[in-house]
Amino acid sequence: MHRSGTGSEADPKDRSGVDHVFLALERELAVFLRRARANSGEMAREVHPDLEAAAYGLLVRLEEAGQQRATDLAGYFGVGKATMSRQLRALEELGLVAREPDPADGRASLVRLTEEGLERFRRVRDARRERYVSKLADWDRGEIAELARLLHQLNTRVEK
């Protein structure tokens, strides 16, 4: 039997007005994001010892979407042009990305992964995927698919 103020799913708020369902979600997302940032740093160092953690996301995006303008990358990540320029310059110096003239606009350039950048990135990504497989070996595949679906749904709604 449900009693008012207990924080159940039917009546998630307690007497103080705290919605425990969303409090639990916020707490778990904070832990997840903290670990994701730490993992990005580790993966970045695996790609190249001098690679910054934030730059790993650029490699992910370039591998996923193909060559991009720096301004489009800055918009995607929600950072300024100067920040993006600095990160891309560092990736260029490490030989992981290259810039080429944009055939649609000679004043702009397109950024792409180099062969070395692509090889290093894929090696680290594949090793990370194997760690997920290992850590989630006792999960039902349907649960993994449901988690992926729910995370996609969350990401889609957050982008709006």
Q: Is 13 helix (H, G, I), strand (E, B) or coil?
A: strand
107-156 pLDDT per residue, tens = 889 999 999 999 999 999 999 999 999 999 999 999 999 999 999 999 88
Q: What is the pLDDT of residue 155?
A: 85
* Cβ neighbour number for residue 114 with a 10 Å cutoff: 15
Q: What pLDDT is attached to residue 53?
A: 87
pLDDT of 130:
93
Domain ranges of the chain: 20-159
Under the banding of pLDDT at 50, 70 and 90, the label for residue 6 is very low
The DSSP line for 68-103 is EEHHHHHHHHT--HHHHHHHHHHHHHTTSEEEEEET
pLDDT-based confidence at residue 11 (cuts at 50, 70, 90): low
Residue 56, helix vs strand vs coil: helix
Which residue in the block uniquely carries the two structure tokens 């260029």? 92
Closest CA to 121 of 68, 58, 71: 58
Which residues lie across from 111 on neighbouring strands? 68, 99
Tokens encoding 57: 């996301």
The CATH number that domain 20-159 falls under is 1.10.10.10
